[in-house]
Amino acid sequence: MKRRKPKQHVSLSEVAALHKRASRMKRQGEALESLELLDEALEACPAYVPALLLAGRRLQTSGAPGPAEARAGMHKARRYLQQAVLASDRSAASLVELGYFLYAVEGSMEAAERYLLAGVEKSLTVLEDGWSGLIDVLYAQGRLEEAVKLGQRAQQLLPGSVRIATSLTPVLAALAAPKREPAQPLGRRRSFE
């Protein structure tokens, strides 16, 4: 039995750097080099979602020379996108990417609709959480008018959001409260020395 060499450890920042280099290669002639960098990144870290998503996209547009290569490329793209959904715990971006793939490449309308709808719902949840958090931060900073404007904008897009309404409640109460005059300073403190 032949002993396998242990894989050399590659840091996450190195994997991210490979992905970044590959993502900058956008010209048609750079597709193969980009895919090689992505394969290297995924060999080092198979669950690196940004590389899985980009590799899935690039494989769809790489222009394989023949039908057999094109089918193999699409099969690999589908596998990468499915892995991205799994590795990201069904992130909105990965669900949308897989949905588009299922629609555009495979013509699977029902499956595409399910994934795209799940991606949209996940996106709205993230958006709602982000707006709610931002309203809370603006309130904590005393930027009440900005918090109200942001809350109104959020409620236009998500009119039934309890989370947005809950974040806006203390902001609106603070704006409605009568303004008090600042306390008069008591003067200089005398030294008891």
Domain of 82, CATH number, reads 1.25.40
Question: Average pLDDT of 97-111?
Answer: 95
In the 8-state DSSP scheme, what is residue 89? T
Residue 31: its H or E element: helix 31-44
Q: Is residue 153 part of a domain?
A: yes
Domain that holds residue 134: 116-178
Domain count, the chain: 2
Tell me how far apart the alpha carbons of residues 193 and 36 are, in angstroms, rounded to a whole number: 78
pLDDT above 70: percentage of residues in the chain: 88
* pLDDT 10s digits, 85-102: 999 999 999 999 999 999
Q: Binning pLDDT at 50, 70 and 90, where does residue 27 land?
A: confident
In a shared domain, residues 124 and 84: no
